[in-house]
Amino acid sequence: MNQPAARRGSTAWALVITSVAGFMAALDNLVVTTALPSIREDLGGALHDLEWTVSAYTLTFAVLLMFGAALGDRFGRRRLFGVGVAVFTAASAAAALAPGIDALIAARAVQGVGAAIMMPLTLTLLTAAVPAAKRGMAFGIWGAVNGLAVAAGPLIGGTLTEHISWQWIFWLNVPLGLALLPLARLRLAESYGTGARLDAVGTLLASGGLFGIVYGLIRGPIDGWTSLTVLLGLIGGAALLGGFVHHGIRGKAPMLPMRLFRDRAFSGINAASLLMFLGMFGSIFLLSQYMQGVLGYSPTEAGLRMLPWTGMPMIVAPLAGALSDRIGGRPVVAAGLALQAIGLAWFALVLSPDASYAVQLPALVVSGVGMALYFAPAANIVMSSVRPSEQGIASGANNALREVGGALGVAVMASIFAAQGGYESGQSFVDGLVPALWVGSGAVALGAVASLVIPRRRAVPAPPAKDPEKLPVAAV
């Protein structure tokens, strides 16, 4: 009689622990953006330095995600999850206490290291704790919390900065991290991957390639796309990633076997994820500035008015997760991406220097529902498209592609904005924002098309009594 209750308790605890950890890591992608003027006033620094307070986190997070997943598979996922939480929490405190801009940038980079270790392990730990029949709902809740963190970063950062101080955007992580450490040790079960040796060659190729490309994308709008450092980053990064793909095909026990992409579900959801984050990150980056710089809202007021978009995942995603359990993830993901694309196009059609909130509200609601429908089943599709022993690597690869998509979205859409408009006036801002939103809408629409390659089937988990390594990937 007690065993089912204990199982329910461990499942609930796993959902709480992994969702909170994912929230912290996802939140810090954009939470600092609305605090940059206050940080510059307190710590000084040129525009170049302020840019690095954002990009230092994104870069280390993106390039080390797959390595963090591999460490968890090798040395224990719960153990490395605790290490990642500890590093992230300590770095958050260091960022809040930073005496200067250089110290803040260094702390942000270490934050990214901690996030890269803990984030991909949240899904593998959650998968191990939740019965297969309930994973859609669990992943829906996990996705809702992570989606809310990504989208609400500017609101939370602006509110804390406006009403307390910018340091509290980092202090917020400290009590959460300290609470997670004992809970993870006591409430999560340990699990391992294949136990294979760490792939040093693959790690260096992936990290170097992603670093070069993400660095080039972030620095391109600032240094110029034809500058030597940007070209070296993009070309060198692409060459290293080409080597990584070759290594994944020919190498022995590579960290990301390229054969995983033969599975239509795995390749389709990863392409859709990259394009979704490209359109969403770039749009939120510009629309939050539009609401403050053009419409005159404070950071808090702008965040509140975006709640129909940013808060919708908390309402819709759990329901969408349950729906995906019944009809499969493909139609839910495709519908979500289509609605997100429609929402961004709607923004592009109605925005003006004096657009009323009522005119924007339908686009906010449609975008919010679309984002929620995507987040709910996407994680389940990723985790069910590979063998259980490879779920850590699959999670790391998917999260890395999301981060690269986000960096690409900010860079590309900011470049379009700068080429077509600027900050000189409200009309100039709208002139740059509208074509950027059309590009974002097009990218998400391409993601909807990519999601259609996902097979029309419901993932069927492997029976626990059988050896998962001997099962075909499509059956897991």
pLDDT tens readout for residues 45-55 = 654 566 677 77
> Are 423 and 293 within 8 A, CB to CB?
yes
Q: How far apart are CA 171 and CA 317, in angstroms?
A: 28
The reported pLDDT for the residue numbered 458 is 45
The reported pLDDT for the residue numbered 472 is 37
Identify the band that residue 114 occupies on the pLDDT scale cut at 50, 70 and 90.
very high
Q: Which of 94, 92, 100 is nearest to 49 (CA)?
A: 100
> Are 332 and 448 within 8 A, CB to CB?
no
The reported pLDDT for the residue numbered 45 is 65
> Are 408 and 152 within 8 A, CB to CB?
no
Identify the band that residue 151 occupies on the pLDDT scale cut at 50, 70 and 90.
low
Q: Which of 268, 261, 269, 287 is nearest to 390 (CA)?
A: 261
Q: Provide mean pLDDT across the span 117-137.
A: 75
CB count within 10 Å of CB 427 equals: 12
* Higher per-residue confidence, 134 vs 443: 443
Q: How far apart are CA 16 and CA 13, in angstroms?
A: 5
pLDDT tens-digit series, residues 370-409: 887 887 677 778 777 777 767 767 777 777 778 778 777 8
Q: Provide mean pLDDT across the span 134-161.
A: 73
Share of the chain above pLDDT 70, in %: 84
CB count within 10 Å of CB 470 equals: 8
Q: Return the sign of the alpha-carbon dihedral for residues 127, 132, 137, 140.
A: positive
pLDDT tens-digit series, residues 265-300: 888 888 898 899 888 878 877 887 788 778 888 777
192-198-203 Cα angle (round to 5): 120
pLDDT tens-digit series, residues 410-430: 778 877 887 788 777 888 888
**CA distances for 235 relative to 204, 415, 416, angstroms:** 16, 19, 21
pLDDT tens-digit series, residues 208-267: 887 788 778 767 767 777 889 889 989 999 999 899 889 988 877 777 778 878 878 888
42-75 as b/e, with b when 16 or more CB fall inside 10 Å? bbebeeebbbbbbbbbbbbbbbbbbbbbbbbbbe
Q: Which two tokens stand for residue 2?
A: 């007690």
Q: Provide mean pLDDT across the span 303-315.
A: 75
Let me know if 134 is exposed, middle or buried by CB neighbors in 10 A (0-12, 13-18, 19+). Answer: middle
**CA distances for 244 relative to 240, 257, 258, angstroms:** 6, 10, 9
CB count within 10 Å of CB 326 equals: 9
The reported pLDDT for the residue numbered 471 is 35
3-state SS assignment for residue 31: coil
